[in-house]
Amino acid sequence: MEKTDHSNLNFYKDLKTFKGTAHILNDDNYVDLPNNWSVIITDIKGSTKAIEQGRYKDVNIVGVTSIISVQNSCGDTEIPFIFGGDGATLFIPNEKVEFAKKALAYSRWKAKTEFNLQLRVAILPMTVILAEKKLISIAKMNLSGTSCIAMARGNGLVLAESLTKKTDQFLIPEIIETVGSHQGLECRWNPITSQHGEIISLIIKVEENSSNDLALYQEIISKINQIVPDFQLITAKKLSTVWPPIHLFNEVKAKYAGLIKTPIYLGLAFLVFLLTLIVRLTKNNPTSAVSKYLNELSTNTDFLKFDDTLKMVIDVNDKQKKEMIDYLDNLEKNGRIKFGMHTSKEALMTCYIQSKTNHVHFIDGGSGGYAMAAKSLKAK
């Protein structure tokens, strides 16, 4: 029996963390993914139709469940993941792949039975990517406490996505044992309405012929932050405490099955009602537990991330929007970048709560967000 390399299992757990969006593109923060790991890519087939039906929150939920089910299946082994709106990219040691397959089969089944969505799941060994002389490197950004999100870079990401689209070779089998859990998923915040005018979901890709691409990405982040000083989308003041949460039953559907769903929903709705009252009464007291948690929640969002493209969701007014688009248009006309964007009146937040000190809140724009921004980018 092959011995388990525990140092390999703990690659991400032991990875040095960094703090702050200013260091997202620091080359020193990135470490090559081990060659005995694999890449998981999930996406929702036909997500555009669901968006047209006004079901983009369902799409987000299914995308997040693929992250949660894999992490739940891996126990104490920390898994790097990047939420993409209508899917996710994850990285996993090969020793955990069989567990992940069963967990993702469960997520695929729940997507179909509860949301009528088709979740595609592909798993590619890093050896396939390395054989093409491509690389993937991972960085680990600490948000607060033990809450972290991954960043990824390298031409292996584009190859992995391309291979999953070209062939069914890497898809998990249609008939496979399903063993999974979506515990940790929460959908208890209503959509966050724009405070300035519009929510913009933005995807930026530096062209391959651009020299020093990391420096250009960093320049873009700095420039957009200069244009939009109120860079962080979610703050305690922006969070809506309106009751009931309109997506709470979707959380229940994703986590439970059968007749038990209704009583669980009613119990959760009552619990959230009590919590809503507490939040309203104490959130303005800076020393309260609620205020501290809301500030931590605001910090623990993935409103800006990097997966060999720069992704962000920001709230802008008309002047900021025009200035930002003019800046990006100029870069695009000069052949330095391509970008896709989508505007909406609200942002969506889907939460993954592992513990009181480890919780990540996935952000996307409403009515299509990243999915529509990606479609805009691919059309160029």
**CB 241, CB 279: distance < 8 Å:** yes
pLDDT of res. 139: 98
**pLDDT of 214 strictly over 60:** yes
**CB 234, CB 192: distance < 8 Å:** yes
Distance of alpha carbon 61 from alpha carbon 342, whole angstroms: 19
Distance of alpha carbon 246 from alpha carbon 227, whole angstroms: 33
**CB 364, CB 201: distance < 8 Å:** yes
List the beta bridge partners of residue 41. Answer: 89, 122
pLDDT tens-digit map of 250-300: 999 999 988 899 999 999 999 999 999 998 888 888 888 888 889 899 999
Residues counted in the chain? 380
Q: Of the CATH numbers 1.25.40, 1.10.3680, 1.20.120, 3.30.70, which one belongs to the domain with range 6-183? A: 3.30.70
At 77, the pLDDT band (50, 70, 90 cuts) reads very high
Task: Say whether the peptide bond before residue 244 is cis (omega within 30 degrees of 0).
Answer: yes
**CB 67, CB 81: distance < 8 Å:** yes
**pLDDT of 1 strictly over 50:** no
114: Cβ contacts below 8 Å, ≥ 6 apart: 253, 254
Distance of alpha carbon 88 from alpha carbon 73, whole angstroms: 16
**CB 25, CB 306: distance < 8 Å:** yes
**pLDDT of 2 strictly over 80:** no
Query: Taking the alpha carbons of 250, 152, 140, 219 in that order, is the dihedral positive or negative?
Result: negative
pTM: 0.94
Distance of CA 293 to the CA centre of its chain: 21
**pLDDT of 241 strictly over 80:** no
pLDDT of res. 211: 63
116: Cβ contacts below 8 Å, ≥ 6 apart: none
pLDDT tens-digit map of 153-169: 999 999 999 999 888 99
Distance of alpha carbon 307 from alpha carbon 39, whole angstroms: 13
Tell me the backbone φ, ψ of residue 244, rounded to 5 degrees. -85, 160
Taking residue 40's Cβ as centre, other Cβ atoms within 10 Å add up to 27
* Domain edges within the chain: 6-183, 192-342
